Amino acid sequence: MGRSVVRPLSVEALAQHLGARFIGNGALSIRGVANLESAGDGDLTFFADAKHRAVAAATKTSVLIVRDADVEINNCTRIVHAAPHAAFAAALAALFPASPVLPGTSLQAVVHGSAQVSFARVDAFVHVGENSRVGSGTHLHPGVSVGAGVVIGRDCIIYPGAQIYSGVQMGDRCIVHSGAVIGSDGFGFQPSSRGWQKVPQVGAVIVGDDVEIGANTTIDRGAIEDTVIGNGVKIDNLVQIAHNCRIGDHTAIAGCAGVAGSTTIGARCMIGGAAMIVGHLTICDDVVISGGTLVSSPITAPGRYTGVFPSTEHKMWTKIAAGLRRSGK
């Protein structure tokens, strides 16, 4: 799935790190993380929300973090902690340690010895991280930074100043404009007694073929699962796509639109400028969303959707607003 590299830990070692106890096989090696639905052999996940009880009971995960009251929900190996979500965040930090900061080098192209740059044009002031692969015919312009473990396909153009974080996978013939950031951390924080605890974002960004990403657009890496941009997607400038989103093939998103986390947008959709799409919903194929529209519920039928009042003179707007308030009583 293109995730960051996991540092395997035994259940016993992780439980000790978390200040928790475990039930089951303490020698079992944790080799990955996943959500309740997709977790399988070697994975760690957690159960904290009662509405997911049926999913937790059926999960095929190897290791489950649960509260003491929920230890009987599944027969897999369990780590018992009073705050499973916070414990999972701490486990992510242990399983996916941050890469060390390397000392500075000269202001020339820096291609790590383990990277594979195949017949690509790499300008000065470019950095290509360890174990990354850049395909033939791809042009990395000045100021481009490519993190560790990145895969960039053939005949791509990465314009000056674009930043591609570790673990990103990009197909062929893609264009990334200046200032775009692909693979930055999603907005993941868990409240704790010490304030907001950062939840490590360990998914990746998977970009298909023939994708164009506009200037200063940001695409966040997945929290656990990957953020996925389908083939032929066209994204304008200043667009925000949050963690775990999935954008279907040949969808176009205009400038200043924002897509909140864990939202799925179907194929061949057109998202107007400054549209706002809330998280954890699904939009089907062949949907057109007008500029400035707020989408706050799933869209299950193709068609055009608009939810914005045109601007009008202020006194007229206050009369309209007052009428709307009266109609709701």
Supply the residues annotated as catalytic.
243
Phi, psi of 172, deg, nearest 5: -90, 155
The C-alpha angle 69, 72, 78, rounded to 5 degrees, equals 90
> d(Cα 131, Cα 202) in Å, to the nearest integer?
17
Residue 267 CB neighbours (<10 A): 17
Name the one residue in this structure whose structure tokens are 């400035």. 292
Give the orientation angle of helix 11-18 with respect to helix 84-95, to 10 degrees: 120
Q: Which residues contact 193 (CB under 8 A, 6 or more apart)?
A: none
**What percent helix, strand, coil does the chain show, rounded to 5?**
15, 30, 55
> d(Cα 28, Cα 50) in Å, to the nearest integer?
27
